[in-house]
């Protein structure tokens, strides 16, 4: 068997209760206990090895390349926690069987409980900090599910939410801290981290990592000032409170402190923060506990106080303090779990937990009362019980502390004060509940619980006594193993005996018990004093804070996101200006520029036309038809510019795209308003001109900056290999169909998708058909002038021939699939314009969607074809053939690829325009004809 089986079995155990729920509560309980019992048996079987000093580690490679390994570790500390988790867990399951009523979803409850158990065990058994953190978060989530188990109650939901928020936020801090530590060490493995204490403590980031990890630990362990969530978590069913919120989950924070003790402790910062937090929590919890009328409230604050005590011990600068801390973890878990269970029984059998109503229960349930009294005495630190032993060790250690320098004497004094309150509230728990008069206004008559409900308490109380009387025999070995894995060095001398002679700690214990009796006797005065303070409800404060946060987030969101696209674009552009302008300011203007080339009059003229028509487009943009004409002039000049600057392919492409675009926009304009009303406020115009001018200036500057630099291009390769490797002399085309063929494939795919998208957008569109222009002038009835029809019809074969020629020569001369496709498309669109859709449709029986698919298929298959020759995807092949009469010609597989491009371009262009054009005829009102 392996340690991984423990978590695996428990994970299976999560499902068991759900499956066996229908078999009845008792059978369900037995099956539920199966998985934890097996895990516990296995852990116990490993005890001798761990006691012998062995650290059981196991690894399971997951993603080794990035250092992610599932890894488990069982050392003394993990063993102690595992025993507590599984042992108390089993008792809790038994207890819950009687606590929950028949009507409740017991299966779900058990399932959550086992889930929590799995997570908690994974924390303590983890040898990888990320893995540990994951489990840590799962405990927060399962705790949330368990607190809100009675989800119909508002306080359950609120308490659960609060617990999740606080521990979840702490969990995030913990993650950051653990990542920092792992970064310092260079490994996520706990065994590596534990061995690099000095490295971490001397690192500059140590304080940050320490505080982050402590935040995680303190939120989980309900340390001041994060303690407020724990009392509200008491809205959970009592088995949950007993298990998660006193015995185990809240100890996860303590576990973390103990786990990281060898690495993080030993510095001034650690001692100061940890001991002070612990001390404040200890005092505050003990004091408030006295005033809680709710039994579980008292126990909750007592738990906070004891968690503070353990934290304080871990923050004291003696080795023995750490041993005492571990000892108290065990003792507290044992007596507090039994007290919670007793409180649950009282609640269950009498219907209330309010100590003002309870009283004199001794007469109704003497047996339970005895058990509860023993446990409460242990909590108070009465001799012969386990609580006494660890508390005395604690008091002794506070005497040796020098964490506060010259005022360190305050620590034992304050510790004694806390102990006085602890005695007082324990006394209150016993006296107010079991004696002190008669119960008032109870809904039912209290009685003893079912036999087996008491078994878990009996076992725990027996442990209290046994550990209290025979400490060395009971837990000596376990404590030693745990302590050595925390201290990772020679253990200090300590003796686990009841009697250490008359010494100062004993005196402090006596003072505590005497003082506690006095405080309890005069509690009325304290209550009156405390009643002067306004009681604040953390729940309201917390919910208020959350609501304020949500409100401010909502208003911030609404302020930014008001639905105005113009605003978003403006914001985006301003950001662009900011991030491009700043580097330009820092740019060295003296960088070498090559001189400008000479400018001829033609170029100046073209530039002036370009700029004027661009500006005219802006000026006349509200008269849409005019804007369309001026922008087509711009497009024309751009294609001339391409031709001028030695890019014939681009010029041809731009020209044909220009034609298609203008036709498209004209078609669209038919359906859209012909004019844009003037609606921008002057301020808006100024703003937009400012943004546009700044961006235009920046773009021009950047453009100038790089085109005047010497050219250092990777294109030498393409030029050198175009003929020999790609078989073509037109390097541009060879790049498109060969070197970067995959890019081209992607691009025709995009083209096809865009066309299909448009087809679908137009499929069910209902557009108003304008019957006249904006001046009320009806459209011409002569829709297809015969001259245009005849000319375009006779031009068609010529255009197709040209496009075919351009397609074929593309590999060696300007041309290729893109250009040829566009020319063909333009020629066909001309037929649509001249004759109308109804005329073309029966004559050109081509489904453009299929054409697009065919084109992409051909291109892809050409690429795949090279696989059959054991070549990578898209390897081209070419050869030269001598054909009689025609002469030598070159055949290249790239030509087939280009055919795919050609077909896709035709299909896409025609699909777009024909779909749009069809609207003009199919929906046209008949009255107009």
Dig out the tokens for 600 from the structure: 């001829």
Closest to 333 in 3D by CA, of 249, 419, 260? 249
Interface residues for other proteins in 701-730 (CB under 8 A)? 701, 703-704, 706-708, 711, 713-715, 718-719, 722-723, 729-730
Whose Cβ is closer to other proteins: residue 698's or residue 789's?
698
Backbone angles phi, psi at 443, to 5 degrees: -75, -25
Q: For residues 299 and 288, what is the distance between their CA atoms, to the nearest angstrom? A: 10
What is the smallest separation between the CB atom of 719 and other proteins, expressed in angstroms? Answer: 6
Q: Are 303 and 282 in contact (CB under 8 A)?
A: no
Whose Cβ is closer to other proteins: residue 536's or residue 589's?
589
Interface residues for other proteins in 606-625 (CB under 8 A)? 607, 610-611, 614-615, 617-618, 621-622, 624
Stretch that binds other proteins, among 286-294, 451-459, 631-639, 831-839 (CB under 8 A): 631-639
Total of chain residues touching other proteins, rule CB under 8 A? 118
Task: Mark residues 892-921: x for contact with other proteins by CB under 8 A, - for none.
Answer: -------------x--xx--x---x-----
* Residue tagged 């028949």 (tokens): 102
Question: Site for other proteins (CB under 8 A): which residue of 575, 754, 798, 846?
Answer: 754
Handedness of CA 131, 133, 139, 140 (dihedral sign): negative
Interface residues for other proteins in 568-597 (CB under 8 A)? 569-570, 573, 596-597
What is the smallest separation between the CB atom of 876 and other proteins, expressed in angstroms? Answer: 15
For 384, 453, 878, the CA distances from 375, given in Å and listed in that order, are 12, 16, 92
* 743 near other proteins, judged by CB under 8 A: yes
What is the smallest separation between the CB atom of 78 and other proteins, expressed in angstroms? Answer: 59
Backbone angles phi, psi at 74, to 5 degrees: -125, 105
Interface residues for other proteins in 357-396 (CB under 8 A)? none
Question: Site for other proteins (CB under 8 A): which residue of 757, 784, 846, 861?
Answer: 757
What is the smallest separation between the CB atom of 695 and other proteins, expressed in angstroms? Answer: 5
What is the smallest separation between the CB atom of 168 and other proteins, expressed in angstroms? Answer: 38
DSSP for residue 394 = H
With vertex at residue 239, the alpha carbon angle to CA 233 and CA 244, rounded to the nearest 5 degrees, is: 55
Whose Cβ is closer to other proteins: residue 105's or residue 705's?
705
Question: Site for other proteins (CB under 8 A): which residue of 52, 66, 443, 565?
Answer: 565
* 747 near other proteins, judged by CB under 8 A: yes
Stretch that binds other proteins, among 11-19, 178-186, 350-358, 762-770 (CB under 8 A): 762-770
Interface residues for other proteins in 635-664 (CB under 8 A)? 635, 638, 641-642, 644-650, 653-654, 657, 660-661, 664
Handedness of CA 774, 776, 782, 787 (dihedral sign): negative
Question: Site for other proteins (CB under 8 A): which residue of 14, 279, 304, 751?
Answer: 751
Q: Are strands 878-883 and 68-74 parallel, antiparallel or unpaired?
A: unpaired
Say how many Å lie between the first and final Cα of the chain, rounded: 88
What is the smallest separation between the CB atom of 192 and other proteins, expressed in angstroms? Answer: 49
Dig out the tokens for 434 from the structure: 């079991």
Interface residues for other proteins in 662-681 (CB under 8 A)? 664-665, 668-669, 671-674, 676-681
For 265, 404, 467, the CA distances from 270, given in Å and listed in that order, are 6, 12, 31
What is the smallest separation between the CB atom of 832 and other proteins, expressed in angstroms? Answer: 15
What is the smallest separation between the CB atom of 126 and other proteins, expressed in angstroms? Answer: 51
Whose Cβ is closer to other proteins: residue 492's or residue 757's?
757
What is the smallest separation between the CB atom of 753 and other proteins, expressed in angstroms? Answer: 8
Question: Site for other proteins (CB under 8 A): which residue of 164, 343, 634, 833?
Answer: 634
What is the smallest separation between the CB atom of 705 and other proteins, expressed in angstroms? Answer: 9
Dig out the tokens for 394 from the structure: 């604690």
What is the smallest separation between the CB atom of 212 and other proteins, expressed in angstroms? Answer: 44
Task: Mark residues 815-834: x for contact with other proteins by CB under 8 A, - for none.
Answer: ---x---x------------
What is the smallest separation between the CB atom of 699 and other proteins, expressed in angstroms? Answer: 4
Question: Site for other proteins (CB under 8 A): which residue of 566, 785, 838, 880?
Answer: 566
Whose Cβ is closer to other proteins: residue 105's or residue 749's?
749
* 888 near other proteins, judged by CB under 8 A: no
Helices (H), 186-318: 190-194, 197-202, 206-220, 229-232, 238-242, 249-259, 261-264, 268-291, 295-315
Whose Cβ is closer to other proteins: residue 352's or residue 824's?
824
Question: Site for other proteins (CB under 8 A): which residue of 103, 766, 781, 843?
Answer: 766
* Residue tagged 């001339």 (tokens): 640
Whose Cβ is closer to other proteins: residue 312's or residue 826's?
826
CA torsion 691→693→694→698, rounded to 10°?
130
* Burial (0-12, 13-18, 19+ Cβ within 10 Å), 385: buried
Interface residues for other proteins in 778-817 (CB under 8 A)? 812-814
* 744 near other proteins, judged by CB under 8 A: yes
Whose Cβ is closer to other proteins: residue 395's or residue 651's?
651
The 3-state secondary structure of 896-918, one letter per residue = HHHHHHHHHHHHHHHHHHHHHHH
Stretch that binds other proteins, among 139-147, 336-344, 445-453, 561-569 (CB under 8 A): 561-569
Residues facing 880 on adjacent strands: 890
* 740 near other proteins, judged by CB under 8 A: yes
Dig out the tokens for 38 from the structure: 């097996």
Whose Cβ is closer to other proteins: residue 266's or residue 770's?
770
Whose Cβ is closer to other proteins: residue 279's or residue 916's?
916
Dig out the tokens for 281 from the structure: 């929590």
What is the smallest separation between the CB atom of 604 and other proteins, expressed in angstroms? Answer: 7
Q: Are 744 and 874 in contact (CB under 8 A)?
A: no
For 438, 649, 823, the CA distances from 732, given in Å and listed in that order, are 100, 8, 18
Q: Are 333 and 310 in contact (CB under 8 A)?
A: no
Whose Cβ is closer to other proteins: residue 711's or residue 883's?
711
* Residue tagged 């005019």 (tokens): 626
Q: For residues 148 and 170, what is the distance between their CA atoms, to the nearest angstrom? A: 20
Closest to 89 in 3D by CA, of 250, 240, 210? 240
What is the smallest separation between the CB atom of 784 and other proteins, expressed in angstroms? Answer: 23
Whose Cβ is closer to other proteins: residue 414's or residue 573's?
573
Q: What DSSP letter does each residue of 632-669 carry, written as one string?
A: HHHHHHHHHHHHHTT-HHHHHHHHHHHHHHHHHHHHHH
Question: Site for other proteins (CB under 8 A): which residue of 510, 541, 551, 767?
Answer: 767
Range 49-54 contact pairs with CB under 8 angstroms and sequence separation of 24 or more: 50/74, 50/75, 50/76, 50/79, 50/481, 51/477, 51/478, 51/480, 51/481, 53/481, 53/484
* 686 near other proteins, judged by CB under 8 A: no
> How distant is the alpha carbon of residue 80 from its chain centre?
32
DSSP for residue 777 = P
Stretch that binds other proteins, among 249-257, 400-408, 429-437, 690-698 (CB under 8 A): 690-698
Whose Cβ is closer to other proteins: residue 420's or residue 736's?
736
Question: In sequence order, what are the residues at sequence separation of 6 or more whose Cβ sits closer than 8 angstroms to the Cβ of residue 283?
Answer: 305, 308, 414, 417, 418, 421
Whose Cβ is closer to other proteins: residue 357's or residue 621's?
621
């Amino acid at each position: 068997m392996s340690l991984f089986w423990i978590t695996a079995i428990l994970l299976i155990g999560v499902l068991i209760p759900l499956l066996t729920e229908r078999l009845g509560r008792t059978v369900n309980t037995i099956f539920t206990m199966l998985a934890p019992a097996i895990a516990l048996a296995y852990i116990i079987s490993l005890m001798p090895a761990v006691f012998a000093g062995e650290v059981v580690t196991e690894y399971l490679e997951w993603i080794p390349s990035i250092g992610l390994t599932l890894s488990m570790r069982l050392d003394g500390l993990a063993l102690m926690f595992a025993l507590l988790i599984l042992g108390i867990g089993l008792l809790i399951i038994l207890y819950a069987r009687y606590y929950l009523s028949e009507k409740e979803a017991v299966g779900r409850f058990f399932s959550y409980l086992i889930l929590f158990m799995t997570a908690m065990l994974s924390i303590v058994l983890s040898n990888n900090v990320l893995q540990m953190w994951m489990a840590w978060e799962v405990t927060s989530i399962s705790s949330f599910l368990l607190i809100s188990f009675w989800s119909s109650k508002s306080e359950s939901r609120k308490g659960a939410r609060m617990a999740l928020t606080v521990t979840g936020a702490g969990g995030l801090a913990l993650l950051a801290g653990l990542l920092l530590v792992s970064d310092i060490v260079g490994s996520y493995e706990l065994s590596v981290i534990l061995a690099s204490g000095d490295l971490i403590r001397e690192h500059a980031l140590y304080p940050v990592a320490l505080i982050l990890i402590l935040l995680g630990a303190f939120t989980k362990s309900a340390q001041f000032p994060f303690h407020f969530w724990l009392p509200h978590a008491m809205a959970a069913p009592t088995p949950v409170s007993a298990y998660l919120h006193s015995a185990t989950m809240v100890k996860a924070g303590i576990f973390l402190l103990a786990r990281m003790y060898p690495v993080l402790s030993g510095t001034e910062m650690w001692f100061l923060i940890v001991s002070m937090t612990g001390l404040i929590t200890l005092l505050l919890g003990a004091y408030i506990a006295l005033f809680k009328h709710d039994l579980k409230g008292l126990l909750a604050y007592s738990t906070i106080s004891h968690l503070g005590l353990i934290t304080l011990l871990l923050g004291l600068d003696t080795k023995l303090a750490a041993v005492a801390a571990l000892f108290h973890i065990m003792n507290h878990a044992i007596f507090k779990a039994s007290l919670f269970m007793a409180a649950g029984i009282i609640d269950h059998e009498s219907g209330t937990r309010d100590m003002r109503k309870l009283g004199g229960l001794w007469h109704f349930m003497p047996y339970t009362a005895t058990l509860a009294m023993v446990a409460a005495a242990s909590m108070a630190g009465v001799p012969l019980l386990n609580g006494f032993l660890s508390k005395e060790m604690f008091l002794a250690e506070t005497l040796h502390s020098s964490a506060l320098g010259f005022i360190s004497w305050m620590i034992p004094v304050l510790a004694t004060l806390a102990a006085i309150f602890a005695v007082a509230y324990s006394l209150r728990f016993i006296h107010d509940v079991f004696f002190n008069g008669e119960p008032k206004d109870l809904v039912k008559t209290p009685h003893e619980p079912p036999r087996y409900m008491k078994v878990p308490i009996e076992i725990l109380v027996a442990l209290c006594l046994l550990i209290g009387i025979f400490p060395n025999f009971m837990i000596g070995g376990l404590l030693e193993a745990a302590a050595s894995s925390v201290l990772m060095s020679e253990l200090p001398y300590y003796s686990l005996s009841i009697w250490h002679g008359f010494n100062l700690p004993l005196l402090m214990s006596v003072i505590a018990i005497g003082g506690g009796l006095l405080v309890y006797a005069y509690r009325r005065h304290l209550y009156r004093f405390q009643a002067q303070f306004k009681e604040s409800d953390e729940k309201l404060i917390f919910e208020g804070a959350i609501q304020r946060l949500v409100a401010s987030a909502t208003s911030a969101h609404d302020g930014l996101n008001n639905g105005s696209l113009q605003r978003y674009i403006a914001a985006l552009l301003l950001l662009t200006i900011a991030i491009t302008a700043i580097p330009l300011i820092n740019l060295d203007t003296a960088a070498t520029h090559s001189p400008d080339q000479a400018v001829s009059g033609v170029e100046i003229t073209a530039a002036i036309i370009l700029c004027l028509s661009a500006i005219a487009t802006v000026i006349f943009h509200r008269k849409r038809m005019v804007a369309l004409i001026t922008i087509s002039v711009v497009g024309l000049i751009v294609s001339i510019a391409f031709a001028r600057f030695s890019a014939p392919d681009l010029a041809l492409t731009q020209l044909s795209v220009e034609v298609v675009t203008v036709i498209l926009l004209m078609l669209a304009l038919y359906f859209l308003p012909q004019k844009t009303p003037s609606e921008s406020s002057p301020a808006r115009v100024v703003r937009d001109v400012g943004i546009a001018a700044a961006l235009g200036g920046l773009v021009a500057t950047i453009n100038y900056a790089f085109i005047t630099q010497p050219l250092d291009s990777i294109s030498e390769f393409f030029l050198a290999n175009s003929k020999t490797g790609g078989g073509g002399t037109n390097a541009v085309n060879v790049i498109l169909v060969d070197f970067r063929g995959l890019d081209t494939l992607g691009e025709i795919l995009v083209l096809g998708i865009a066309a299909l998208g448009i087809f679908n957008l137009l499929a069910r569109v209902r557009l108003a058909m304008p019957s006249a222009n904006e001046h009320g002038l009806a459209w011409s009835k002569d829709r297809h002038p015969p001259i245009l029809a005849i000319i375009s019809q006779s031009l068609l074969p010529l255009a197709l021939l040209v496009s075919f020629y351009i397609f074929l020569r593309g590999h060696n001369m300007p041309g290729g699939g893109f250009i040829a496709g566009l020319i063909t498309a333009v020629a066909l669109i001309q037929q649509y314009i001249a004759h109308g859709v109804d005329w073309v449709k029966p004559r050109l029986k081509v489904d453009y969607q299929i054409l697009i698919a065919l084109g992409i298929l051909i291109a892809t298959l050409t690429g795949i074809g090279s696989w059959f020759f054991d070549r990578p995807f898209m390897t081209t092949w070419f050869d030269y053939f001598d054909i009689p009469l025609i002469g030598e010609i070159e055949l290249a597989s790239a030509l087939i690829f280009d055919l795919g491009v050609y077909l896709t371009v035709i299909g896409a262009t025609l699909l777009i325009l024909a779909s749009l054009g069809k609207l003009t005829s199919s929906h046209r009102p008949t009255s107009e004809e």
